Chains A and B, each alone.
Chain A
Amino acid sequence: MAAVDRDLVGLAWRPELAAGILMHLDRLDVVEVMADDWFAAPRRRLRALRTLAAQVPVVFHGVSLGAASCAPTPRRQTDRLARVVNAAPGLYWSEHLAFVRAGGIEIGHLAAPPRTQATVDTACANLERASRAVGSRPLMENIATLVDPPGSRMAEADWIAAILNGSDCDMLLDLHNLAANAANFGFDTRAFLDAIPMSRVAAIHLAGGRLVRDAASGQERLLDDHLHDVPDPVFDLLAEVAGRSPRPLTVILERDGRYPPISELLAQLDRARAALRRGRLRRQARLQMPVAV
């Protein structure tokens, strides 16, 4: 995996966005490829990834590893990932701190496991196996959940920090997932950022969501659906993270449907660049400030 020496801003590749992405490669520093979409691709089609990677830096993102589980990750998952991630030169690959299958059930979605020392240990073991199979360590992403996982004994940020430390993996920090969990479970996003090792955050996801209402109780929750524009508080969080982060960040905008014109997505990338600049300037000013004694 290649070293990144400056902040990069880009878009997640989706077939529906392909034409817009290819026509605006000059506006993108990086493109994120969904690894799972290529698992079944024949060798000829995998060559297209190399062609893409020759035109723009790419990163790979998986959704079905299910590393944060009590159960070992199936060998076929790590083999598929290795095949795709190594099909073209990428800056890094990433996955989720989630389980996606259990008891013979494929959930088809990311689910938060109980946050315990046991799931820290098994996640680290799964990530070690996956890293060996692929040949490099993944960045691991915090997920959004509508349910505080039962049986949890650790706060989310502490659980994530323990896995990062135990697995030697860096973090992909999804800021809308963070904002959604903070809204749904009533914690402070800044306290979360205080608790994770900021020097391990290498990449950022941006997305949007919406409030959903439970008909039976009338209660509302913030759903991370990737179908809406990035809200202002998430750009503010990006500036906050850029102000704290000591290393270059790769920022990816994810959109999974209700696609707006590509110009609107590019405008959101411009807003991300502006937020990064704001944060970096704040950090620079803070570092240059004389320390009071």
Chain B
Amino acid sequence: MTGHRGDRLEAFLAGLYAHPGVLERFERDPSGAARGAGLAPDEVESVLRMDRAGLRLAAASVSRKRAGRRRRGAWQRLVDRLAGARLYLPR
């Protein structure tokens, strides 16, 4: 396990938010998942106290954002081009 203690906690949170598999593992075995991520004992304690409802909703929100961004790509390119064309017009 590499990184400093704060880095590891941020990386663990990033995994919980962005990777559904990490969240599922954490829900099944919170303590094991936190220790397995190399968190310090006080960090493990703080993670175990996390609001699970908020965590699940946060992960779902991240998932929607990521999916929305993928969908938006092609649409944005088209609309952007049209808007850009208007912006290029001489004033």
Q: Are B80 and A150 in contact (CB under 8 A)?
A: no
Q: Are A214 and B66 in contact (CB under 8 A)?
A: no
Min CB gap A58→B, angstroms? 12
Residues in A52-84 with C-beta less than 8 Å from chain B: 52, 54-55, 69-71
Say if the beta carbon of A212 comes within 8 Å of chain B: yes
Q: Which residues does chain A contribute within 8 Å of B55, judged by CB atoms?
A: 146-147
How many residues on chain A are close to B (CB under 8 Å)? 51
Chain A facing B: main interface SS: mixed
User: How distant is the Cα of A225 from the Cα of B61 in the complex, in angstroms?
Assistant: 9
Q: Which residues does chain B contribute within 8 Å of A45, judged by CB atoms?
A: 84
User: How distant is the Cα of A135 from the Cα of B76 in the complex, in angstroms?
Assistant: 30
Stretch in A3-11, A108-116, A228-236 with 4+ CB within 8 Å of B: A108-116
- A146-B54, A146-B58, A146-B61 known; A48 and B14 CB under 8 Å? no
Please encode chain A, from 203 to 225, with 1 for each CB lying within 8 Å of some chain B CB and 0 for all others: 00000000010101101010101
Chain B facing A: main interface SS: helix
User: How distant is the Cα of A149 from the Cα of B43 in the complex, in angstroms?
Assistant: 11
Q: For residue A221, which residue of chain B has the nearest CB?
A: B57
User: How distant is the Cα of A113 from the Cα of B10 in the complex, in angstroms?
Assistant: 7
Q: Are A147 and B51 in contact (CB under 8 A)?
A: yes
Q: Are A146 and B86 in contact (CB under 8 A)?
A: no
Say if the beta carbon of A22 comes within 8 Å of chain B: yes
Say if the beta carbon of B33 comes within 8 Å of chain A: no
User: A99's contact among B10, B49, B50, B87, by CB below 8 Å, is which?
Assistant: B10
B residues sitting closer than 8 Å to A (CB atoms) are 3-4, 6-15, 17-19, 42-43, 46-47, 49-58, 60-62, 65-66, 68-69, 76, 79-80, 82-84, 86-88, 91
19 contacts between A and B (CB under 8 A): A18-B79, A37-B76, A69-B10, A71-B7, A103-B11, A103-B12, A103-B15, A105-B11, A105-B14, A108-B65, A108-B69, A109-B17, A109-B61, A109-B65, A109-B66, A150-B46, A150-B47, A151-B42, A221-B57
